[in-house]
Amino acid sequence: MSKRANKLTAEDLAALVEEEAPEAGVPVRPVEFAELDAGPRTPARGSAAALGFILDVPLEVQVVLGSTRLPVRQVLELGPGAVVELDKAYADPVDVYLNGRLVAHGEVVVAGENFGVKITEIFSEALDGE
């Protein structure tokens, strides 16, 4: 084979085809690839143009007020009007998750007749994938 790493010359291909004779008359020929165009340069990481192709990808957003652990007996006793005490205090921030990953903290707000979350802190390392 040629001394160049990972590249076969036409002679190398011909030698391989001759060494590995096809069975039952199956025709074998070298593959011809078209030259690749370098194309447009990739936008810089983090730029709006670099993210344009994924802007419509849906993400699961969860806002967690708190949590608790209950034995099955207590869960089965829950009914309308039952109060479940959570592990967070009234003024504590809520956790905001994207696809199961904690990415921010926020505070609950009321917008008209709906609840919302005002983001107070974003964890940049969570968004950077670290």
Fold of 58-128: Surface presentation of antigens (SPOA) (2.30.330)
Contacts of residue 48, defined as CB under 8 A and 6 or more positions apart, other chains included, come to none
Q: How confident is the model at residue 22 (pLDDT cuts 50, 70, 90)?
A: low
Q: What are the angstrom distances between the C-alpha of 41 and each of 38, 45, 54?
A: 8, 12, 18
Say which residue, 32 or 120, is predicted with more confidence.
120
Map out the domains of the chain as residue ranges: 58-128
What pLDDT, on a 0 to 100 scale, did the predictor assign at position 13?
A: 67
Cα separation, 32 vs 1, whole angstroms:
18
How does pLDDT run across 24-51, given as a tens digit for each residue? 567 777 777 777 776 666 656 656 667 7
What pLDDT, on a 0 to 100 scale, did the predictor assign at position 130?
A: 52
CB 117 within 8 A of CB 94: yes
CB 17 within 8 A of CB 8: no
